[in-house]
Structure 1
Amino acid sequence: MSKKNKKQEVVEPQVEEKEVEDTQENELTAEEKLQEELAKEKDKFMRLFAEFENYKKRTSKERVELFKTAGEEVMQSLLPVLDDFERALTHIEDDKEAEELRKGVLLIYQKLLTTLEQKGLSAIEVNSGDTFDAEDHQAITQIPAPTDDMKGKVIDIVEKGYKLGDKVIRYPKVVVGQ
């Protein structure tokens, strides 16, 4: 019996050691699980934080753009009025009897133009002889060029173009030599 007892004694400590090792492994896996969960939560938090920062930047940029071009619709509706003033001034200049009328119309036109320029409106400069660029001009028609060097160039400006800040709100309408 003593041999059996010895075997039992020997076997029993091995079982106890295995149980201790199993509990340590369970504890390590539980600790590892917690660390993994913590890492996942940190990653989720960082992604959410970055997304929120991007949202703040995007909305502030959109707000700035909105303020820059808030008057765009109003400016576009006033552009035909500017065109009418310019047409009136070219026709009044021919009539010498209407000198006082011309001065009054010119004064109102300059005041309106100054006010709109203070709000960010600027005319796009285009001259006859400039090279036609489809990104900067709107061709309304093509006519035979009076000379060979005027082919592909602006012959006449039918309507001025305007920018509001850096944004083009109306492209200049031009006649192009063919």
Structure 2
Amino acid sequence: MQKENKDLDENLEKDVANEETTEKVKEESKKEEKSQDAKSQDVAEEKQEASDKNENPDKKKKRGLKKKDKKDQQIEELNDKYQRLFAEFQNFRSRSEKEKAAMFETGAKSIIEKILPIVDNFERGVAALSEEDLESPVGQGMNLIYKQLLSTLDEMGVTAIEAEGKEFDSDLHNAVMHEENDELGENIVSQELQKGYKYRDTVIRHSMVKVAN
């Protein structure tokens, strides 16, 4: 009986020893795994640092852009919106200036067309006066008003179209009569029946002329 108890004690001691050995082996294994993981992490960090050093600057910029915070994104969006609005305003102002210029041109032409018949009447009236009448107060007043009208039109950019003695130009002249004239060349304006006028480079009224064939 004593022998059996002794054997049991020895077996228990062996089992305990085996368990302790197994635990030690497990602990050593865990330590080795941790050590290997740490080494792997160190190697990975070293590779990443090397990669960052050799990375293309453009890629770094792109990667930096991805990391922008919301405030930077909002600033960029607002700036882009401002630039678009500013460009639209510039286009609108340019269009408005062109429209104003076109309206002014149209208005000026309309007024000039209405003034020209008055100028014609003054011109005919002055031409019909005799030298004696021209010296009278009425004649002098009419002549003065006529010259003032011509001066004002000239300041506005209105000029008379040259016609008599010039070659006929359909862009400037309106031929209403033709005649045979040996003294003049072919297609030459022999007489101006009504003066034509231009406003800057635009014809307001064509000259009414007689043309020699």
The TM-score, its normalising length taken from structure 1, stands at 0.61
1:135 aligned onto 2:171: yes
Aligned partners of 1:129 and 1:150 also within 8 Å:
no
Within 1, Cα distance between the matches of 2:90 and 2:115? 39
Q: Following TM superposition, by how much is the alpha carbon of 1:121 offset from its aligned partner in structure 2, in angstroms? A: 1.8
Q: Which amino acid aligns with 1:173?
A: M
Within 2, Cα distance between the matches of 1:53 and 1:64? 17
Q: May I ask how many residue pairs the two structures share in their alignment?
A: 130
1:167 aligned onto 2:202: yes
Q: Which amino acid aligns with 2:145?
A: I
2:186 to 151, 166, 175: 151
Q: Following TM superposition, by how much is the alpha carbon of 1:68 offset from its aligned partner in structure 2, in angstroms? A: 3.2
Give every structure 1 segment of 4 or more consecutive aligned residues whose post-TM-superposition deviation is greater than 3 Å: 49-59
Aligned partners of 1:122 and 1:162 also within 8 Å:
yes
1:118 aligned onto 2:155: yes
Within 2, Cα distance between the matches of 1:97 and 1:64? 44
Q: Identify the residue that residue 72 of structure 1 maps to in structure 2.
A: 109
Within 1, Cα distance between the matches of 2:198 and 2:147? 18
Q: Pick closer, same or farther for the CA change 1:97–1:131 going to 2, 3 Å.
A: closer
Aligned partners of 1:158 and 1:174 also within 8 Å:
yes
1:60 to 94, 97, 105: 97
Q: Gaps spanning 5+ residues in structure 1: where?
A: 1-48
Q: Pick closer, same or farther for the CA change 1:130–1:177 going to 2, 3 Å.
A: same
Percent identity over the alignment is: 35
Q: Following TM superposition, by how much is the alpha carbon of 1:148 offset from its aligned partner in structure 2, in angstroms? A: 6.0
Aligned partners of 2:190 and 2:209 also within 8 Å:
yes
Aligned partners of 1:89 and 1:105 also within 8 Å:
yes
Q: Which amino acid aligns with 2:172?
A: D
Query: 1:1-42 CA distances to partner (integer Å, 9 max, x unpaired)?
Result: xxxxxxxxxxxxxxxxxxxxxxxxxxxxxxxxxxxxxxxxxx
Aligned partners of 1:136 and 1:171 also within 8 Å:
yes
Pick 1 or 2: higher relative contact order, CA cutoff 8 A, min separation 6.
1
Q: Following TM superposition, by how much is the alpha carbon of 1:104 offset from its aligned partner in structure 2, in angstroms? A: 1.3
TM-align CA RMSD: 2.8
Within 1, Cα distance between the matches of 2:89 and 2:134? 64
Task: From the CA coordinates, give the structure whose radius of gyration is larger.
Answer: 2
Q: Which amino acid aligns with 1:139?
A: A
